[in-house]
Amino acid sequence: QVQLKESGPGLVQPSQTLSLTCTVSGLSLTSNSVSWIRQPPGKGLEWMGVIWSNGGTDYNSAIKSRLSISRDTSKSQVFLKMNSLQTEDTAMYFCARDTMGITYWGQGVMVTVSS
Amino acid sequence: DIQMTQSPSVLSASVGDRVTLSCKASQNINKNLDWYQQKLGEAPKLLIYFTNNLQTGIPSRFSGSGSGTDYTLTISSLQPEDVATYYCYQYNSGNTFGAGTKLELK
pLDDT average, residue stretch B23-49: 97
Percent of chain A clearing pLDDT 70 (strictly above): 100
Helices vs strands, H then E, count in chain A: 0, 11
Cβ-Cβ contacts under 8 Å between A and B: the total is 48
Q: What is the pLDDT of residues B39-83, one digit of tens each?
A: 999 999 999 999 999 999 999 999 999 999 999 999 999 999 999
CB atoms within 10 A of CB A55: 11
| pLDDT of A99 | 83
Strands (E), B18-97: 19-25, 33-38, 45-49, 53-54, 62-67, 70-75, 84-90, 96-97
C-beta atoms of A60 and B43 within 8 A: no
pLDDT average, residue stretch B6-28: 98
| pLDDT of B94 | 86
Q: Residue B24 pLDDT > 90, yes or no?
A: yes
Q: What is the distance in angstroms between the Cα of B82 and the nearest Cα belonging to chain A?
A: 18
Residue A101 pLDDT level (bands cut at 50, 70, 90): confident
